[in-house]
Structure 1
């Protein structure tokens, strides 16, 4: 789920609980074949049948609401299986060609595991929730290894904790159901802070990029020394950094940050590129033709600034997917499409003609390397 969906779900849950209204959380815990959403997608169901967010394109919601209302009546969690294949005799017969497992449980804010998980979702903090799909118990694991909750079976508990820690360590962790050595399926849901997008430059073409990135759940940072350009009115919801290029040491992007150099000013771009390549960020993009990035690297080399092959391997230029983009809004779409593909390990390209499953586990595509500056 993206950040906007999570915010909507948590806001509705907070309102319901303040009114003493019961609520159930439905989570996709397994997908086989084709389906509209993936593991970790959540939907909130309130007493009376109101729902917040969706588990599919409208295929499953009515069925899941009925299950959730029964869970609220009984207080017992439920695991429901839905067959979406077109020729299903007893299934839904929707024609997606796959099947989906949904776990539904009543929300108990007084439970320490539930409270910790909801706090992590609301605060945008890293956490992993491990839930056996057979039996009882849940375990919440924080990024520092702290564990809340305990499973009755010691071996299953150890597996769940280790699986949660390994999931949190991934570059782009996703929810998944894993098989424990004894055969018990364990669903590991993951929450991580929103990815950061740092824009070096607050020009006109940065406006749609910042706005679209915010809509996709990025924490957007804009860096520019010009106060007339760097205003909350131009970049609502973004963190603004009025830094000159020589003051960029005050900005320390993390490993999950994505940096785009787009000042349209050679000197500022040169210093910003140096700062970006020295940072821990895994993705560095330069707007404009490939020759521009090569010129910037040559100028840096002439000034005595050298970068390792590992640093240069993170550099993408030209930035964005090849969509034929021209207008600033189109360029923003191209850049964010590449960012999504890169983060999730896909190479981009057309789905039409693709014979495999759309969501098959990919191999991370290697970033094109620019030649070292002479």
Structure 2
């Protein structure tokens, strides 16, 4: 979501600078198999230029044509693409996709929600598709903007939005009494902090940036911190972590200094923080040595802290090179963030987009 939101924002503002009207198409319901799920977005300009995708290429051209027609009419519309029909230009698909397409300008609630969704804590944008009208935005601080009619529908929609904001949720369309309401949930930019700027930290940082993470690299050796383009770098020894490094529940930590004492101090700092993921690179025997040393110092991790600790880190792909290790580690983090097990899709019995566990905040 974060990468897509940034791309949409840049494209929207570029279009407006050229005086071009714009529409945003959002997938609001998927039945059966589809390349992308609810919440996927695509921008279409009045001149037919598009940014981002709502499928794997099956729908985009027709969506561009329909969005341009909608812009001419000037009002939001819902359109249905039925993959189940025998149409040769939709190869390999087998489901139904419903898309809500709407005009967007600088005053639109959708634009303002996108603008804040790249930085803020989770927020919910609820749009009435049928059985009522209007839209409301539940902001991270609990404030509400917009309005839904009738008032009793707004009260129910707001309660659902508040529940979805408290617990990590996926975009979804729900029936609320007689109305259909699409709940779009923002995904704040995930944070990755690498303790250690060795040679293997570079592919880890680079791949994380490509995946949309905001990356911070921490090391006491300034010469190693050079060359991490796109990352925040923090020159800090373990004694300076408390003063220079801030970890929140949005952070994922990988300890990879390759120096036992520094790694032990970084591990203690990370476990004592609210970071949602604490991974330690290396074999389990090395982690056990660190935990024993921490216990001798009087620091014994709680059950909650141990539940956030991962070692060895990564998905089991037989990774050997630094690039493969980065791929493996980041795949694990993405899987955990989305509630998936990280196994082979070939062996999965449920749908490929269906999580295997309940997501937690």
Task: Tell me the TM-score normalized by structure 2.
Answer: 0.94
Q: How many positions carry a matched residue from both structures?
A: 358
Aligned match for 1:230, one of 221, 225, 229: 225
SS of structure 1 residue aligned to 2:261: helix
Which stretch shows the higher mean deviation, 350-359 or 327-336?
Answer: 350-359
Contact 1:344/1:364 (CA < 8 Å) preserved in 2? no
Report the alpha carbon displacement of residue 63 of structure 1 after superposing the two structures with TM: 1.4
Report the alpha carbon displacement of residue 158 of structure 1 after superposing the two structures with TM: 1.4
The residue aligned with 1:372 is none
Contact 2:78/2:98 (CA < 8 Å) preserved in 1? yes
Q: Distance in 1 between matches of 2:58 and 2:342?
A: 27
SS of structure 2 residue aligned to 1:149: strand
Pair 1:83–1:169, CA change in 2 (3 A): same
User: Quick check: which one's strand share is greater?
Assistant: 2
Displacement over 4 Å in runs of 4+:
89-93, 122-125
The residue aligned with 1:280 is 274
The residue aligned with 2:68 is 69
Q: Distance in 2 between matches of 1:110 and 1:275?
A: 44
SS of structure 1 residue aligned to 2:12: helix
Q: Distance in 2 between matches of 1:324 and 1:312?
A: 25
The residue aligned with 2:48 is 49
CA RMSD of superposed structures (Å): 1.8
Aligned match for 1:243, one of 221, 236, 242: 236
Contact 2:58/2:90 (CA < 8 Å) preserved in 1? no
SS of structure 2 residue aligned to 1:348: coil
Q: Distance in 2 between matches of 1:45 and 1:122?
A: 20
The residue aligned with 2:287 is 293
Q: What do residues 291-325 of structure 1 show as CA deviations (whole Å, max 9, x unaligned)?
A: 11111000111111122111111111101111100
Q: Distance in 2 between matches of 1:93 and 1:119?
A: 33
Q: Distance in 1 between matches of 2:140 and 2:15?
A: 29
Q: Distance in 1 between matches of 2:59 and 2:183?
A: 22
Aligned match for 2:348, one of 341, 354, 359: 354
Please say if 1:155 is aligned against 2:152: yes
Within a 5 Å distance, the mapping from 1:1-374 to structure 2 comes to 1=1, 3-85=2-84, 88-89=85-86, 93-111=90-108, 113-121=109-117, 123=119, 126-134=122-130, 135-171=132-168, 173-180=169-176, 182-231=177-226, 233=227, 235-250=228-243, 251-364=245-358
SS of structure 1 residue aligned to 2:98: strand
Report the alpha carbon displacement of residue 89 of structure 1 after superposing the two structures with TM: 4.9
SS of structure 1 residue aligned to 2:182: strand
Task: Tell me the TM-score normalized by structure 1.
Answer: 0.91
* Structure 2, unpaired ranges of 5+: none
Report the alpha carbon displacement of residue 203 of structure 1 after superposing the two structures with TM: 0.4
Q: Distance in 2 between matches of 1:364 and 1:26?
A: 28
